[in-house]
Amino acid sequence: MSSSDTPGPRGPYAKGVQRRQEILDQTLEVIESRGIDGASLRAIGEAIGVSHAALRHYFSSREALLVEVLRQRDQESVRAVEHLPGVFDRLTASANDNVREPALVTLYTTLLGASVESGNETARDFFSARFEQARTDFATLLRDELAASGRHSDADLDQVASLIIAAFDGLQVQWLLDRRIDIAGTLRLLERVL
Amino acid sequence: MSSSDTPGPRGPYAKGVQRRQEILDQTLEVIESRGIDGASLRAIGEAIGVSHAALRHYFSSREALLVEVLRQRDQESVRAVEHLPGVFDRLTASANDNVREPALVTLYTTLLGASVESGNETARDFFSARFEQARTDFATLLRDELAASGRHSDADLDQVASLIIAAFDGLQVQWLLDRRIDIAGTLRLLERVL
DNA sequence: GTCTATACGAAGATAGAC
DNA sequence: GTCTATCTTCGTATAGAC
């Protein structure tokens, strides 16, 4: 990500920050109404009332813009859930939140798929860091949870963390393709691996 | 060269069948050398020595071509593994095969991600059917396996099947982003849910 | 049936004016 | 900070040669 994606070292200028947020919000709205393919820079610009070139004053590429939308909502999503005590309670809550925002799940899935192609370094960096962080966090949480309840598991908790994240992402994709999939219920099965 | 030197109404379009397969093979090779984004119809055509318009004589769209490459390799992959007795032996074998073909895993992941967007009906239909089939197959296999070994599980086997597929796909993505991920080893943890 | 030539419209990126 | 204009590349579509 380049410096044009974040406010400069002299601090954010109020108008610029506001405009930047407006772009992020409108981008998600355009995605909700016209799909991700329909969310071209021209379409987003039109929804705001500026030219597509103006958007690149705030985001270095369309990819960077979409990743930023996801990053912001992702942070909110994490914050909305971190007060819950157990790992699986958090997973269930996240799954239930996401089911109410299919456009966001679609954006997540699409960007994740694109991130493994060369040329999408912005998305790749985002997801690499996100997975790294999530693996560490889950492993730590599981360790604490087991210790607090006096239980013990012979499973590699880093692998369990990996597995939980993989299952979450994979189930979301299956759910997008077939709404009969019960993400939260299926994730509960993972409690048995401990 | 070939019998098409004498153009009789004879052949059942041998040349066409051959050409079609050549397109499928070269498409994967272009993906391997230049990435999926680099595999434009023009680039693929150039690798074969035909115009990009010729490709659309065999495939209705670029998306349909990519899905067809995946479908063919996917069938081979299933066939290479279905002689193995246990579900988790098959999973391990598949994972190990895939690790040797990162370009194929990348194609799979990219198309799966794209399939959830409206406008990619070809990919969506492929993955919807693939998941439906895989869920049924895995559930049946697990049921037979449990019965044959005299064991019993109180888990919903359709959900377990869903979970296995989700974990497989999700771990592959994490592996593409970080090669330290041990797909087969982590999947083995799922034996505990039964 | 097979393929070339050619054109169309949309997309992201970019340069430079204001 | 925002615009217009332009560049390049893409998938797609059509007409017609052989």
Which pLDDT tens digit goes with each residue over A82-132? 999 999 999 999 999 999 999 999 999 999 999 999 999 999 999 999 999
What residue in A sits closest to B121 (Cα-Cα)? A177
Which A residues in the span 106-125 are in contact with B, Cβ-Cβ below 8 Å?
106, 109-119, 124
User: Cβ(A67)–Cβ(A27) under 8 Å?
Assistant: no
Residue B187's φ and ψ, nearest 5 degrees, are -60, -30
Rounded to an integer, what distance in angstroms lies between the CA atom of residue A170 and that of residue B166? 4
Nearest to B80 by CA among B68, B70, B90: B90
Average pLDDT score over residue span A144-150: 97
Which pLDDT tens digit goes with each residue over B31-40? 999 999 999 9
Which nt has its C1' nearest the CA of A48? D2
| pLDDT > 80? residue B3 | no
Contact B173 A169 (CB under 8 A): yes
Which pLDDT tens digit goes with each residue over A149-168? 999 999 999 999 999 999 99
User: Cβ(A45)–Cβ(A100) under 8 Å?
Assistant: no
pLDDT (0 to 100) of residue B150:
97
| pLDDT > 90? residue B11 | no
Average pLDDT score over residue span A50-62: 98
Alpha-helical (H) ranges within A80-120 are: 87-99, 102-115
Contact B116 A109 (CB under 8 A): yes
pLDDT (0 to 100) of residue A2:
47
Average pLDDT score over residue span B93-104: 98
Rounded to an integer, what distance in angstroms lies between the CA atom of residue A20 and that of residue A12? 10
Nearest to A177 by CA among A98, A127, A106: A106
- Tell me, in Å, how far CA of A115 is from C1' of D13? 31
Chain B 32-91 contacts with nucleic strand D (CB below 7 A): 38, 40-43, 52-53, 56, 61-63
The pLDDT mean for chain A works out to 95
- Maximum pairwise Cα distance, chain A: 60
Which pLDDT tens digit goes with each residue over B112-171? 999 999 999 999 999 999 999 999 999 999 999 999 999 999 999 999 999 999 999 999
List C-alpha distances in Å: B41 to A72, B25, B33.
36, 14, 15
pLDDT (0 to 100) of residue A70:
98
